[in-house]
Amino acid sequence: MHALRKILFVSQALADETEAMKQALSMARNNAAELDGLIVCPSLPGRMASHKDSYETSLVAALRQTAATVGSTLGGVPDGALRTIEVASGKAPAVNVIRHALRHGHDLIIKQAEPRDGGRGFTAVDMELLRKSHCPLWLSRPIADRRGEMKVAVAIDPDITQDNERDLTLRLLRLARALADDCSGELDIVSCWDFANESYLRNNPWIRVAPEELAGMVEEERSGHHRALSGLIEAAGIEGRTRVHHLRGQPEKRIPAFVDEEGVDVLVMGTLARTGIPGFIIGNTAENIVQRLSCSVLALKPNGFVSPVKAY
């Protein structure tokens, strides 16, 4: 990944966060970026207010120990790589995270995904971060492979109607390429297409379409989508080992299935909503995809996205 300056590691101090810390320290090392920590936790009940300072001190010490332990297993990570640790207590943890990142100029947030029944999708806090984070967000899940064997994939849609969609797609490809170079070296690019009217035209008693004519329509849709996909990959100027997967079907189903079949460890994707209506800050397709994923996710917003969360 390029142009990373400040990374924020987010802890909820509830579970083993070793894997997410490993990714945060590796990203900071590989990008010569600063790494800070933020612990978000509920406020103590009023009757326990006198324990607040000792409680927060213990949380900070535990997180610093986790960073030191993980750092000792990684090459090239100096002592004290986790520079600062702050605690934000109270309600609305996702809002506290985004507000902190805005105030301190962080350009990547890394957080361990909260456990969820079935191991797929994300809980309310993680989904709120996906919807409202102004900067790239890495929701980390345990990865069995060593970093040099981690599989990285990027999901893109070449059906572009606006400049910010094109810009986001090129950023996704370049970021995923850089991340893959730090991992296995191979990047999987996955994109889905379909001819939505095929069933309607094939089965409609009022419209007569010859089978060969319908087949031509389907092929025209496939080839046009593939040309657009190839054009974007070329425009991104990425190099290295790459596999392109042009899948027919709904992305909400095909992409999670592809992740499972190929053993993808990290999926890079955008969360662009194709509407100007306030409040629509993650697309329905993106939301449906992430709720079926079992891997780590690195999600990006388009340039110009303004979070509904304010720094102050």
pLDDT of the chain, 312 residues: tens digit per residue: 557 899 999 999 888 899 999 999 999 998 999 999 999 998 878 777 777 889 899 999 999 999 999 999 988 888 889 999 999 998 899 999 999 999 999 999 999 999 888 889 999 999 999 999 999 999 999 887 777 889 999 999 999 888 888 999 999 999 999 999 989 999 999 999 987 766 666 666 666 767 777 778 788 889 999 999 999 999 999 999 999 999 999 999 999 999 999 999 999 999 875 544 443 346 688 889 999 999 999 999 888 888 999 999
Q: Are 78 and 72 in contact (CB under 8 A)?
A: no
Q: Which CATH architecture has domain 1-112?
A: 3-Layer(aba) Sandwich (3.40)
pTM of the model: 0.90
CA-only gyration radius of the chain, Å: 21
Residue 90: the pLDDT is 87
Cα distances from 79 to residues 30, 31, 70, 71, 84, in angstroms, run 16, 17, 11, 7, 13
The three-state secondary structure class of 207 is coil
Two tokens, residue 289 = 């995809």
Residue 283: the pLDDT is 67
Where do the domains of the chain lie? 1-112, 144-312
Cα distances from 228 to residues 29, 160, 166, in angstroms, run 36, 9, 11
Alpha helices in the chain (DSSP H): 18-31, 52-73, 93-104, 124-132, 163-182, 198-203, 211-236, 251-262, 284-290
Residue 14: the pLDDT is 80
Residue 276: the pLDDT is 45
Q: Are 233 and 244 in contact (CB under 8 A)?
A: yes
Q: Domain 144-312 belongs to what topology?
A: Rossmann fold (3.40.50)
Q: How far apart are CA 34 and CA 28, in angstroms?
A: 6
Q: How far apart are CA 115 and CA 126, in angstroms?
A: 10
CA atoms in the 13 A half-sphere facing the CB of 162:
11
Residue 273: the pLDDT is 58
Q: How far apart are CA 1 and CA 101, in angstroms?
A: 19
The whole-angstrom distance between residue 130's C-alpha and the CA centroid of its chain comes to 8
* DSSP β-bridge partners for residue 137: 109, 299
Q: Which of 296, 13, 281 is nearest to 128 (CA)?
A: 281
